[in-house]
Amino acid sequence: MDFRVSHEEWHRSPVAPTPQVITCAHCILTEWEHERISTPYWRWYCNDREGAWILMNKKRTLIAPGRVILIPPHTSFGTGCKGPVGHLFMHFALALDQTVPAGRLFERVPADAEQASIEQLVAELKANDGSLRISFLAQALVNSALAAIPDDYWGGRAADPRIDEAVRTLRRDAEADNASLARAAGMNVNAFIRKFRQATGHSPHNYRLRLRVEQCCAWLRENGMSIEAVAAAAGFCDRYHFSRVFKRIMNTTPAEFRRRSAGR
């Protein structure tokens, strides 16, 4: 059989970095009082009724029903609540998180199909049966929220699939060395390091440190581990070395981060 295909126009989309959903959960908020929260990952919020809000730059934004709130990483904000409020939230990371500006809040009304996915996700989480649909729905909702952000926010950054793949490799294996990453990207080591810095804003070494601190943030928030145990699990020689690196990256100490970021 002879198959012939004619293309008068050809438009190819760049491969965008895939969001990594870290947390997807639903709860009933009765109290949610925090003066300042700042984490190295994105936050996605959607509530089923009025009663909770975000405070950023002295402005209060209600998380109204039928709206989605998106907050970039390293953005400092406060929270408040007069519950009970059904609270759906997700935390996720992107390969290009180190180059996006903090201090913004994005609010939007989801389309009908997206709202239906939100309701289905809440139902799946309440059923608590470990369905794969939870992951698929969460990923789709995160993608929809990111796609709605204005282009100028990303600063004209063009995706480099070689560097995005290197970042994905580091997120799977933070010990991957520059030589192996450069080889997989088809570049020499010096060119790889230069391209990596241009794409992420950091050298591969500093990015590895940030990934370790990102994991430590999750442990500090969710696992009840002591700071000494977190430092040891992340491979730091002692609590003091860990605290110095953590403060340099997060602009606060591990103990203060735990206190301020105990909320969702």
Q: To 10 degrees, the CA torsion angle through 224, 227, 231, 232? A: -70
Report the CATH number of the 203-264 domain.
1.10.10.60
Q: What is the pLDDT of residue 97?
A: 56
pLDDT value at 204 more than 60:
yes
Mean pLDDT confidence for 234-256: 87
Residue 70 in 3-state DSSP? Answer: strand
Average pLDDT of every residue of the chain: 84
Q: What is the pLDDT of residue 219?
A: 86
pLDDT value at 217 more than 90:
no
Mean pLDDT confidence for 213-222: 82
Least confident span in 47-61, 65-79, 88-102, 235-249: 88-102
Between 182 and 247, whose confidence is greater? Answer: 182
Most confident of 15-19, 151-155, 255-259: 255-259
Domain 160-201 of CATH type 2.30.30: no
pLDDT > 70 fraction of the chain, expressed in percent and rounded: 87
pLDDT class of 61 with cuts at 50, 70, 90: very high
Environment class of 76 (CB within 10 Å of its CB; exposed 0-12, middle 13-18, buried 19+): middle
Q: What is the pLDDT of residue 20?
A: 82
pLDDT value at 13 more than 60:
no
Q: What is the pLDDT of residue 33?
A: 85
Least confident span in 110-119, 158-167, 248-257: 158-167
CA 79 – CA 68 distance, rounded (Å): 15
Mean pLDDT confidence for 50-75: 92
Instruction: Note the pLDDT tens digit of each residue in 152-197.
Output: 787 655 567 888 888 888 888 888 999 999 999 999 999 999 988 8
Q: What is the pLDDT of residue 163?
A: 84
pLDDT value at 62 more than 90:
yes
Listed in order, the ranges of the chain carrying CATH 2.60.120.280 are 20-154
Q: Dump strand ranges (E) for the chain.
A: 20-29, 34-37, 42-47, 52-56, 59-62, 68-71, 77-81, 85-93, 106-108
Q: Which CATH superfamily is domain 20-154 in?
A: Regulatory protein AraC (2.60.120.280)
For residues 42 and 94, is the Cβ–Cβ distance under 8 A? yes
3-state secondary structure 122-147: HHHHHHCCCCHHHHHHHHHHHHHHHH
Listed in order, the ranges of the chain carrying CATH 1.10.10.60 are 203-264
Examine residue 84 and say whether the peptide bond preceding it is cis (omega within 30 degrees of 0): yes
Mean pLDDT confidence for 231-253: 87
226 CB-near residues (< 8 Å, 6+ apart): none
